Amino acid sequence: MLKDMKHLLNFLSKKSNYVLLYDNRNDGEHSNSYLFIDPIEVINCFEGKYLKDCFAKLETYLDGGYYAAGFLSYEAGIFFEDILNKTISVKNDFPLFWFGIYQKPIVYEVLKIKDDFQQRGSGYKISKGRFNTGMEEHSKNINKIKKYIQQGQTYQTNYTIKYKFLLQGLVNNFFGDLCRKQHVHYAALVDTRSHKIISLSPELFFKRKENKAILKPMKGTLDRGFNLRDDSYKSEALKSSFKDRAENIMIVDLIRNDIGRVSVGGGVKTQSIFDVEKFDTLFQMTSTVSANLKENISWFELFKNIFPSGSVTGAPKIRTMQIISSMEKEPRNIYTGGIGFMSPKKTGVFNVAIRTILFDKKSSRAEMGIGSGVVWDSDAKKEYEECKLKSKFLTDKYNDFQLIETMCWQYVDGFPLLDYHLSRLEQSAAYFGFLFDKKEIIKKLDKKASSFDRRQKYRIRLLLYQGGKIKIESRILSGLNGHNLIAFSNRRTDSSDRFLFHKTTQRKLYNEEYARCSRKGYFDVIFSNEKNEITEGAISNIFIEKNGIFYTPPLACGVLGGTYRSFLIKTKKFPVVEKILYKNDIINADRVYLTNALRGMVEAKVVNKSK
């Protein structure tokens, strides 16, 4: 059995009609991943009048001990409601229903994308990206929806446009890269011979276990903070947001009503509400609904009553789907449908197919739906800008990075400030979703130190990879040249860059400026942010002394919390005040000090100009 993603994706490149359901998220709720290959039959349909027959055929196979894995397109939901079927015309050449019938899945308890997965961005190319709807048309439709809201015909409408592009080369590598950027429970890679579907969905549509069902609608979004403390504030802000709570409860009520149609009396419960989940770049608000289904509810009856998810339509559901059909330029196809599997024991899991790409093998054309919930106070221009931002998920290169700790070792003290280093590393690992094993790190540091010359002082560079791999480099630490000159950089940092608050290999600007100034004999180079606030050096934190008080820039300016800086503030060796500083404050200081874990606290001399 193929046990890592690199070999699995290579293997699948030679297969067709497969379904990979992939969980690559480490948040304590990790579940199995499933691979379905070599179907004995594929059941699909393009016309709504055959949907029920397809379900009947599928359930015959399930009763016979087989599994079914595949998807329903969004438009299948139109044929589950008579009023929609009569009022909405569906014309598309993509399946409403596609399921392979399989003997059984290959189940992976752990299926990792290893740190050496591939050369990121290799083997494929994205080009000719465009939206199928311009800003002017998009704004007109947003305003139309707001009129419908004013008239009471809808309370919220999820309006979708599409980002179209060409995708050439190794599509499976593209899936692998996206999985490195987005860690979600409900990712999927589906091959239908003519198309491939790539889904990076964070949203559960439902889980079923016999007559029990769990649904988890997602409504409410906020950007991540800069560190764990900032994350905590942001998470609480989302949880207490009146607007997001109102939208969330609206969809929860819709979901409860849908599942209630196939549940026993009193069998629908809201298990939890307004939960905030952390993802790579944002927080999402979810709620959890549980249901006790009526005896012998078929898969057809279940889907007929709850599909598509209300979180991707709006409310009220039927009227809002009519509004959606009148405004969106083309069928959604797989976008906002559902991808998952059904077992012979009436268990199954389906996602809500958001962040999902449809790729046509013959033409190399690809598309991704991008939508947002429109409410009364939505701003049309901001909604379009949000769509543009969401499309960058496809084209932004994955910048592979590792977490770093740079520390010293000497025989008498061992690793000074080790607790500070490990605490900072653990917090950054938790923030970025890296695996962190404190005992293993200490074990490897001790093993490395056992080979050191007791008469020497060493510089240690520890790298932590996303999957938990640890790499330790060392060299003898040389002495200072005695000059300790520092210069100011003309290049600015951006205080909104979250990587400034963590020690990582994402430090191109710092490395370039430090190398340039080192060649001129400088000890370090000092940076300012976009507001001209002093932040830090390339390898140091900065302190100034003025009238007996020590001042250092606050972290919020875009400053890494250095271990020696933290040591000085915590131990109160001398009075330290965090204060916004500017270039003139450094120039006019009584004394200037640079601090880091290797050198401790070093008095420096300022060169009164940028270098």
Q: Which residues are catalytic?
A: 203, 219
Give, as one character, the DSSP assignment of residue 501: G
Query: How many angstroms separate the first and last alpha carbons of the chain?
Result: 58
Q: Let me know: does 164 contact 173? Beta carbons within 8 Å.
A: no
The tokens for 307 are: 């599909």
Please calculate the CA angle 505-510-514 and round it to the nearest 5 degrees: 120
**Between vectors from CA 569 to CA 563 and to CA 571, what angle results, nearest 5°?**
95
Are 245 and 236 within 8 A, CB to CB? Answer: no
Tokens of 21: 């359901």
Burial code of 400-409, b = ≥16 C-beta within 10 A, e = fewer? bbbbbbbbbb
Distance, in Å, from the CA atom of 505 to the CA atom of 516, rounded to the nearest integer, reads: 18
The rounded distance, in Å, linking the Cα atoms of 493 and 226 is: 15
In this structure, are residues 537 and 573 in contact, taking their beta carbons and an 8 Å threshold?
A: no
By CB atoms closer than 10 A (0-12, 13-18, 19+), residue 151 is exposed
Query: Three-state SS for 409?
Result: strand
589-592, long-range: CB < 8 A, 24+ apart: 589/544, 589/545, 589/546, 590/544, 590/545, 590/546, 590/547, 591/544, 591/545, 592/486, 592/542, 592/543, 592/544, 592/545
d(CA 446, CA 460): 12
- What Å distances lie between residue 288 and 206, 273, 303, 308, CA to CA? 10, 6, 18, 17
CA 406-410-413 angle, to 5 degrees, is 100
